[in-house]
Amino acid sequence: LKNVFPDLGLQIITLSDLECDYINARSCCSKLNKWVVPEVIGHAVVTVLMLISLHWFIFLLNLPVATWNIYRYIMVPSGNMGVFDPTEIHNRGQLKSHMKEAMIKLGFHLLCFFMYLYSMILALIND
């Protein structure tokens, strides 16, 4: 029940994502791409920890998001500069879809945060 920690970094990402329109695409994308791998790893680790500690509900809740993260990371075309590509981010409404995705994730992590907090307090009381 020591799983409260991984969320802060992700929120920073979403915030910088929101900012995306204010800064130049090149630096925005490189900033965002830096966080993609930690996010994927962090989330995967949390998910696996849940599985190990046999918290089935939370595990199942996390699984789709973790899968999506990994899928997104793997499906980047070889010529692109990462999940966020500065040459394409302004095309085909990509900016919008990235933003939408970030918002959904933010909501998800907020939900998780309170759930973890609740279960942590519950665990402390039980102790």
Partner 1 sequence: MQLPSGYGSHPPNYSAPSGHYSQVPNKAGASHLDNQYRASYYPTYYSAPAQNVMTPPVGTSVLNTQESQQLYNKTPPHTGGSAEGPIQGAISSASYLHTSAQQSYSAFGNHYSTSVSSSVASQGFPLNSDHYTMPVVSSAVYPNVSYSVAAGSVYGQAFTSQSLPAVGQFKETNTFSSQSTSVPHLLQQHVPVGYNTTLSTISSAQSVQDNLCRNLTGSVAKVNNQINAGGIDSSQPVHPVSQSVLFTKPGAGTSVSSAVISSVRTPAPSLSSQPRSSPSVTQSPELALQEGMQYGGYVNNQASSAPAPLSSSSDDEEEDEEDEEAAIDSSSTTSSASPVLNNYDALEGGGYPEARSVTSSPVPAPSVPQTSKASKPFGYGYPTLQPGYQNAAPPTPVQPSNSGHHPGFQHYPQQYPGVNQLSSSLGGLSLQHSQQPESLRPVNLTQDRNILPVSSVPAPVPNLNSDLRKLNCSPDSFRCTLTNIPQTQALLNKAKLPLGLLLHPFRDLTQLPVITSSTIVRCRSCRTYINPFVSFIDQRRWKCNLCYRVNDVPEEFMYNPLTRSYGEPHKRPEVQNSTVEFIASSDYMLRPPQPAVYLFVLDVSHNAVEAGYLTIVCQSLLENLDKLPGDSRTRIGFITFDSTVQFYNLQEGLSQPQMLIVSDIDDIFLPTPDSLLVNLHESKELIKDLLNALPNMFTNTRETHSALGPALQAAFKLMSPTGGRISVFQTQLPSLGAGLLHSREDPNQRSSTKVVQHLGPATDFYKKLALDCSGQQTAVDLFLLSSQYSDLASLACMSKYSAGCIYYYPSFHRSHNPAQAEKLQKDLKRYLTRKIGFEAVMRIRCTKGLSIHTFHGNFFVRSTDLLSLANVNPDAGFAVQMSIEESLTDTSLVCFQTALLYTSSKGERRIRVHTLCLPVVSSLADVYAGADVQAVVCLLANMAVDRSVSSSLSDARDALVNAVVDSLASYMSTASNLQQSMLIAPNSLKLFPLYILALLKQKAFRTGTSTRLDDRVYAMCQMKSQPLVHLMKMIHPNLYRIDKLIDESTIHVNDRVVPQPPLQKLSAEKLTREGAFLMDCGSIFYIWIGKNCDNNFIKDVLGYPNYASVPQKMTQLPEVDALSSERTRSFISWLRDSRPLSPVLQVIKDENPAKTDFFQHLIEDRTEAAFSYYEFLLNIQQQICK
Residue 87 as a binder of partner 1 (CB under 8 A): the answer is yes
In the numeric block, the tokens 């998780």 are attached to 112
State the Rg of the chain over Cα. 16
How far apart are alpha carbons 101 and 2 in whole angstroms? Answer: 27
- 75 is a contact residue toward partner 1 (CB under 8 A): no
| Footprint on residues 95-114 left by partner 1 (CB under 8 A) | 95-96
Closer by beta carbon to partner 1, 15 or else 21: 21
* Alpha-carbon gap, residue 9 to 106, rounded angstroms: 11
- Binding footprint of partner 1, residue count (CB under 8 A): 21
**Whole-number Å distance between alpha carbons of 93 and 99:** 10
* Interface with partner 1, residue 33, by CB under 8 A: no
83 φ, ψ to 5°? -60, -40
The window from 25-33, 53-61, 64-72, 109-117 that contacts partner 1 (CB under 8 A) reads 25-33
Binding flag, residue 21, partner 1 (CB under 8 A): yes
Residues making contact with partner 1 (CB under 8 A): 21-27, 77-81, 86-87, 89-93, 95-96
